[in-house]
Every structure is written in C-alpha cells, then in structure tokens.
Amino acid sequence: MGFEQLHNWARAQYMHDRVRVSTSSPADLLRPDVNIVHLPRCSPVHPKHLLRQAEELGIGFKARVLARTEAPRAAVSDLTRDLTVPEVREWLQDDIAELVDVFGAQLGYSEVSVKLEVLGNTPCPRFHADHVGVRLLVTYYGPGTVYVENRHVRRRWLWGHGGGIAVETAGAESARQADAADLLFLKGHAALGNYGMGAVHRSPDLDLDLHPESGRATVQIATRHHPASEARFRTKARAQDIPEGTGGHSGIPLIELPAPPPPVRLLLTVDDVVGWAAEACGCGHEHPLRGQGVGKVEGVGAFGTGRGMEQEAGAHRPDASIHLMEHEQQPR
C-alpha cells in the first residue's frame, strides 16, 4: 500500500458521505463536496422527430470527435454530418456546441471528446464509477442514466494487486434517473481530490422481454368485466389472428401482440477522455488502448493531473468492481 493510496483512502473516509448532488450549475463540480450535477430541462424538438432520427441512424451508430472548447463548431458539424432530420440536426449542432463550451468556460478544459451514439441495449447494467475527470451524459431520446448519491453507496478498497476501488453496494431504492434532454455531469475518480468518491451510476434498462419463439410480447388489456364486452374483445382478437392467453387478473384477458419496435437510446457523451481507448467507458471492462498507450495530455482542466503530465491515454482505467471477487476482503 503506497502513501498516495493511503492518502486517498483517508480523504474518502472523511468526505465520502458529505458529497452531494447539485442541481445548480456545472461549475459546482469544482467544489469538493459535489460529484454530480443534474440539470433538468425540456427538449425543443418533438420526441417523434428524435425517434425517427435514431431509427434512421440505426442501433450501433457511433460518431466521435475531438473538439477544442474555444471553437467547437467545426468538430460538432463533423459529429452530426449523418443526421438527416432537419429539426434534430439543427438543435443538436447548437446544443452540443454550447455544452462543449461549458467544459471550457466553466470547467477549464481546452479539449474534450464528444461521442454521439444510438444504443439498443444496456451496455453498463451495474452501478459503477468512471476513471475520468468529468463526464457529461445527455440522453436526447429514451430513458436517461440512473445514479445514486454517495451516502447510499458502499465501496470496497482493494489493497495490493494494483489497488483500485469497487462499488460494493448501491442503494437502488434511493437511485434517481435523468429524463430525456437532462444534463447529467458526473465527476469521476480521476478528478483531482476525488479518487474513491467518483459518481456512481449505471445505464438504464433497455432490454425488451419477448417470447423467443414467437417474437411477441404478452400484455394485459383492461376491459370492463362484462360478459358482452369481453365477448366482443375476444371476437376481435380472433379476427386479427392474435393468440389469446389463458386468462388474467380479475378476468382481464391476456393476449400476445406483435412486438413493438426495439427500444433505442440516442446518447451524447462529452468527457476528458482525449487519448481514446477503443471503448473508454470506465465501466469495469478492460479495453485495449489505441496509439502508443501513454502520452502527454494537454489542457486536462481543473479535474486532471495538470498540463503535460504523463498519464494513461484517455485517463481511462477500469472500475475495480469487475475484479471484486478476485481479491480477499480488505479494510474499507
């Protein structure tokens, strides 16, 4: 156990449960007692346009650029070049440029990574904290990110074997969720003075539970429990060739309907991971690094280790939660 690890442990023991969520300003992340800023807002674009854009891009779409915070427009235009819905393209270009500017004006970064993607699953289903300085998540369409305040989180420090810290338990009953278009700023373990207190969060559930044989979903349709209305309902279901279940609660029939379109999530990620791992999410999986692996990261802002300091490319290290069962339980 090194001195730095011991120092981080002692600081986290004192500060951990004092760290809170702010709903005021991204600049609150400069405070040692704030690791999440959640700013609710409404989308100026109708959800149907955002859904159409997400479906046209398709699940698996991913675009990524590096943007200079003092002049982000060119990079943002490149990021959004595949957007075809005018209302969506116009708003996202303006919105993303303004958010990149926030990283420069309020958080002190000169360069950030910006990623726009369409998800059809739950990439990070367990609660974890990222090894980044600051990460902004904006869900333009679909369910937003789920997060938990520090006082509802219990972590385990791993001594030896390279160290690390894992989320042992997170109070799911105390979790909150961002809505579509909300701004969710998360301070990670790599932020100066925040190691061991990174914002704990997970991806929202997107998986659709279907019958594998038929590709249909079972739903319960409420009708007034009256013999005549129920008979009409069953007759209509048979006419539409919809298989009927064996009954339901309080006499409400169960039927299988054709599966709706798969759920999608149009997600923006802005962070200080400028070295770019192949999938630099910080969720706990080992990701191969691109390039030389180690380099000088300039302009890492108020949350990094300083200009020109040697660090792993992208300041990305895996969350220790994935290795939790590989080590013996140690003092917390």
Q: How far apart are CA 274 and CA 295, in angstroms?
A: 10
Q: How far apart are CA 120 and CA 58, in angstroms?
A: 9
Question: How many residues are there in the chain?
Answer: 332
Give pLDDT, residue 202. 96
Give pLDDT, residue 6. 81
pTM of the model: 0.74
Give pLDDT, residue 274. 83
Q: How far apart are CA 128 and CA 318, in angstroms?
A: 10
Tokens of 274: 């400028």
- C-alpha distances in Å from residue 63, one per residue of 33, 78, 103, 301: 34, 9, 19, 24
Q: How far apart are CA 256 and CA 96, in angstroms?
A: 41
Long-range contacts of 285-294 (CB under 8 A, 24+ apart): 285/318, 285/322, 286/318, 287/316, 287/318, 289/313, 289/314, 289/316
- C-alpha distances in Å from residue 222, one per residue of 219, 250, 254: 10, 10, 9
Beta strands of the chain (E only): which ranges?
Answer: 20-22, 34-39, 62-68, 111-119, 134-141, 146-148, 153-157, 165-170, 176-177, 183-187, 200-202, 216-220, 254-258, 265-271, 294-296, 310-312
- C-alpha distances in Å from residue 93, one per residue of 54, 80, 99, 268, 295: 15, 7, 10, 12, 30
Give pLDDT, residue 3. 74
Give pLDDT, residue 63. 97
H helix count then E strand count, the chain: 5, 16
Asked whether the beta carbons of 45 and 91 are under 8 A apart, the reply is yes
Give the pLDDT of the chain (332 residues) as one tens digit per residue: 567 778 888 999 999 999 999 999 999 999 999 999 999 999 999 999 999 999 999 999 999 999 999 999 999 999 999 999 999 999 999 999 999 999 999 999 999 999 999 999 999 999 999 999 999 999 999 999 999 999 999 999 887 656 678 899 999 899 999 999 999 999 999 999 999 999 999 999 986 544 444 445 544 444 445 555 556 656 655 665 555 554 444 455 555 556 666 789 999 999 999 875 444 444 444 433 332 222 223 344 666 533 322 233 233 344 444 344 344 444 44
Asked whether the beta carbons of 69 and 109 are under 8 A apart, the reply is yes
Which one-letter DSSP state was computed for residue 259?
Answer: P
Asked whether the beta carbons of 269 and 260 are under 8 A apart, the reply is no
- What pairs with residue 138 in β-bridges? 268
Give pLDDT, residue 27. 97
Q: How far apart are CA 108 and CA 300, in angstroms?
A: 8
Asked whether the beta carbons of 169 and 154 are under 8 A apart, the reply is yes
Q: What is the dihedral of CA 70, 94, 40, 25, to 10 degrees?
A: 20
Q: How far apart are CA 211 and CA 254, in angstroms?
A: 14
Biggest alpha carbon distance in the chain? 78
Q: How far apart are CA 138 and CA 140, in angstroms?
A: 6
